[in-house]
Amino acid sequence: MTLRFGVVGAGGIARSYLDVFAELPGAAIVGVADPDAVAARSLADAVNGVAVHSVSELLATVELDAVVVCTPPDSHPTIALEAIAAGKAVLCEKPLAITVGAARAMVAAAASVGVLFTMATKFRFVDDVIEARGLVESGVVGEIIQLENTFASRVEMSTRWNADPTVSGGGVLIDNGTHSVDIARAFLGPIREVLVLERPRTLGLDVEDSVQLLVRAGSDATATIDLSWSYDNATDTYLQVYGTDGALRVGWRESAYRENRTDRWVPFGVGYDKITCMRRQVANFCGALRGDETLAISVADAVASVQVIAAAYESLALGDWVAVESVQSVDAASTEEVA
């Protein structure tokens, strides 16, 4: 049986899903909803699907098994709740929501009607990140001491919704930082507290364009996360993990690890491919929808990402360490745990 997906939102990330589904067996996009009729029609025509104006029209006129929410963050709760109420599974792009309350409301609604719901966060599905986690679990680097993550490149944001705080919930911290938080939690487990240091704003935006996020995990391991729209990071590596017995680095084009007893870096990956990891993410969602596998990103993970970012913004305002709420299991969790 082919699973039928509707896509809400016809922007850049929605176009990426066209490539994702093009080589995904057993699933297809059959409808696209967007207030921009031209944009909706353009995407729908590419998959021989139906183009409509709104999620309400999509749910009323197209037979669907699931909905992918690809709109700006402020609209995620409204769209997801409407799809959930119609009994449709929902894969919601990151960030899940701007507030913790909204995130919990979405999870509770899905639990109440028994439909599948989670957040799309692609880096957990990158081949090299998966391999790196396996290496850590095998003990190659020993006990993790420090994690470093950098997502920094100069980007023109002045005309994009990402820089409108009423729509996005903030700037680079919630935009790139949501990926960073999920990566950190995948390696370190629950995050206990955070501190955010803002760099000078150079892009003339109403939101932060460059920050450093310091993280202390429940294991006492720490992380340093650098996020910026205002400068380019010139190195290939975006993730480094340092342990008691070695280190590993994950890059855009290659990845490798080194044990302390040798100077040799051992390659283990060939880098990052956006569509490949997104396709694996949707395949996992489809497998869970069919009952064949467990969601790799649980609802607890999804809510935890919002909790950590919320604490980070509180830290940014206070200029001090802020504790993070405690429901943050990296393992699969029941919806009742976060409802």
Per residue in 185-207, pLDDT (tens digit) is 999 999 999 999 999 999 999 99
pTM assigned to the model:
0.94
pLDDT at 325: 79
Where does the chain hold its CATH 3.30.360.10 domain(s)?
Answer: 124-278+303-323
Q: What's the CA angle centered on 88, arms 82 and 94, to 5 degrees?
A: 70
> How far is Cα 189 from Cα 183, in angstroms, rounded to an integer?
10
CB 113 within 8 A of CB 85: yes
- Identity of the residue numbered 198: E
> How far is Cα 39 from Cα 86, in angstroms, rounded to an integer?
25
Read off the pLDDT of each residue in 122-150 and give the average, rounded to a whole number: 98
pLDDT at 52: 98
CATH classification number, 124-278+303-323, choose in 3.90.180.10, 3.30.360.10, 3.40.50.11740, 3.30.565.10: 3.30.360.10
Show the tokens assigned to 230.
């205002």
> How far is Cα 208 from Cα 215, in angstroms, rounded to an integer?
18
pLDDT category of residue 326 using cuts at 50, 70 and 90 = low
- Helix-then-strand count for the chain, H and E: 10, 15
pLDDT category of residue 242 using cuts at 50, 70 and 90 = very high
Helices (H), 116-171: 127-138, 165-168
**pLDDT tens by residue, 12-37:** 999 999 999 999 999 999 999 999 99
pLDDT at 194: 98
Where does the chain hold its CATH 3.40.50.720 domain(s)?
Answer: 3-120
**pLDDT for residue 336 is more than 50:** no
- What's the helix, strand, coil split of the chain in %, to 5? 40, 25, 35
How are beta strands 66-69 and 3-8 bridged, if at all?
A: parallel
> How far is Cα 131 from Cα 60, in angstroms, rounded to an integer?
42
Show the tokens assigned to 113.
């009607």
pLDDT at 295: 97
In this structure, the chain runs to a length of 339
CB 296 within 8 A of CB 284: yes
Read off the pLDDT of each residue in 66-85 and give the average, rounded to a whole number: 98
| Torsion, Cα of 155, 158, 161, 166 (10° steps) | 120
**pLDDT for residue 44 is more than 70:** yes
CA-based nearest residue to 20, from 39, 40, 9, 5: 5
Q: What are phi and psi of 100, to 5 degrees?
A: -65, -40
Show the tokens assigned to 213.
């996020």
CATH classification number, 3-120, choose in 3.40.50.2000, 3.40.50.11270, 3.40.50.720, 3.40.190.10: 3.40.50.720
**Beta strand residue intervals within 186-259, DSSP E:** 191-198, 210-217, 222-228, 237-243, 246-251, 255-259
How many CB atoms sit inside 10 A of residue 142's CB?
15
> How far is Cα 316 from Cα 331, in angstroms, rounded to an integer?
29
Instruction: Give residues with Cβ within 8 angstroms of 256, minimum separation 6.
Output: 248, 249, 265, 266, 267, 268, 269
> How far is Cα 240 from Cα 144, in angstroms, rounded to an integer?
11
Residue 149, CB half-sphere, CA atoms under 13 Å: how many?
26
Chain-centre distance for alpha carbon 170: 16
